[in-house]
């Protein structure tokens, strides 16, 4: 006896909708990339010689480095770290209260909107350009570099600050408001305890950025790593450049390790980053 079976109709896969806007944006980005490579005169033939030239100059710098320049390299590195530290501290002092004023819910719109715009403008200007503008007032000194780093820090720390304040758990804030607390009480008990670890972490991270940026500021004569690097490269003292690079790498790694340990302590409560569960 034959058993008749009925086949289920196969469900057709839905057609993925196409987005003309997405396609247009991809084409536009592709054209911009092609135009950028087309407008810049790149000698692609030199890329083949780049590895050999890189090895050559690394050998000139490090085989062997000029150990007689160790003291000068260390002093230049310390000067750059001092510039970064002063710039970071000044940036914290200025940006910290402004971050509260730029936060929604802590200040009126007419106050936080202009501050957010100022932070965005500052972030759009590189520290080198800021230093050049400050030169006419302070002259070409390490303090000029510190002030440029301070202004640049205000832009980033201000943004990171108000984002941290706005991203806290709303529970403590609602509790403060329910008890009739004012704005200062809201900041002290509803916002700051939750945002403090992130804010401290941002401060340390900005210090690390400023240490690297101080080297670039030295190239315009602000002193420190960049000044020594420029002087020795100009006269082709590659062994002195190698000694400077070794000192800079060592000091930067020490700062990164200390800063990372402090950040982990503030955020996770331990001096080491927590391991991921396997």
Domain spans, the chain = 65-268
Question: Which of 80-89, 90-99, 174-183 is the least confident region?
Answer: 174-183
* Per-residue confidence (pLDDT) for residue 150, from 0 to 100: 95
Distance CA 101, CA 107 (A): 5
pLDDT digits (tens, 9 = 90+) for 117-133: 999 999 999 888 888 88
Q: Return the exposure string of 94-104: e unless at least 16 CB atoms fall within 10 Å of the residue's CB, then b.
A: bbeebbbbbbe
pLDDT digits (tens, 9 = 90+) for 188-223: 888 888 898 889 989 988 998 998 888 888 777 777
Give me the residues paired with residue 107 across strands: 104
First to last CA, the chain: 58
Q: Which residue has the tokens 């087309």?
A: 38
* pLDDT > 50? residue 277: no
pLDDT band at 264 (very low <50, low <70, confident <90, very high): confident
**Single pTM value for the model:** 0.78
* Per-residue confidence (pLDDT) for residue 278, from 0 to 100: 43
Give me the residues paired with residue 202 across strands: none
Class of domain 65-268: mainly alpha
* Per-residue confidence (pLDDT) for residue 85, from 0 to 100: 94
In angstroms, the Cα distances linking 94 to 150, 194, 209, 212 are 9, 21, 18, 21
Do the Cβ atoms of 83 and 148 come closer than 8 Å? no
pLDDT digits (tens, 9 = 90+) for 133-175: 888 787 778 888 899 999 999 999 999 999 999 888 888 888 8
Q: What angle do CA 17, 23, 28 make, to 5 degrees?
A: 170
- The residue-averaged pLDDT of 62-84 equals 89
Question: Which of 35-44, 152-161, 229-238, 242-251 is the least confident region?
Answer: 35-44
* Per-residue confidence (pLDDT) for residue 275, from 0 to 100: 54
* pLDDT > 90? residue 39: no
* Per-residue confidence (pLDDT) for residue 159, from 0 to 100: 93
* Per-residue confidence (pLDDT) for residue 276, from 0 to 100: 45
**For the chain, what is the mean pLDDT?**
84
Q: Which of 207, 83, 82, 107 is nearest to 157 (CA)?
A: 207
Distance CA 224, CA 85 (A): 13
Distance CA 266, CA 201 (A): 7
* pLDDT > 50? residue 15: yes
């Amino acid at each position: 006896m034959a058993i008749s079976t009925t086949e289920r109709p196969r469900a057709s896969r839905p057609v993925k909708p196409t987005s003309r806007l997405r396609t247009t944006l991809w084409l536009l980005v592709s054209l911009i990339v092609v135009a950028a490579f087309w407008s810049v005169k790149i000698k692609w033939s030199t890329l083949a010689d780049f590895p050999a030239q890189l090895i050559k100059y690394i050998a000139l710098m490090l085989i062997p480095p000029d150990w007689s320049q160790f003291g000068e390299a260390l002093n230049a590195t310390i000067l750059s770290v001092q510039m970064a530290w002063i710039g970071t501290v000044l940036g914290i002092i200025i940006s910290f209260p402004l971050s509260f004023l730029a936060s929604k819910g802590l200040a009126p719109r007419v106050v936080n909107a202009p501050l957010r715009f100022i932070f965005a403008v500052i972030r759009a200007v590189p520290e080198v350009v800021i230093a050049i503008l400050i030169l006419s007032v302070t002259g070409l000194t390490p303090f000029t570099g510190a002030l440029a780093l301070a202004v640049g820090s205000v832009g980033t720390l201000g943004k990171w600050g108000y984002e941290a304040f706005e991203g806290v758990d709303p529970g403590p804030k609602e509790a403060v408001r329910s008890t009739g607390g004012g704005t200062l009480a809201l900041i002290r008990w509803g916002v700051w305890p939750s945002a403090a670890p992130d804010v401290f972490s941002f401060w340390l991270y900005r210090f690390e950025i400023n240490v690297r940026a101080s080297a670039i500021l030295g190239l315009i004569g602000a002193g420190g790593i960049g000044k020594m690097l420029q002087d020795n490269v100009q006269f082709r003292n590659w062994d002195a450049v190698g000694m400077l690079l070794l000192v800079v790498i060592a000091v930067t790694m020490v700062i990164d390790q200390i800063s990372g340990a402090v950040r982990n302590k503030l955020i996770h409560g331990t001096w080491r980053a927590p391991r991921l569960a396997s």
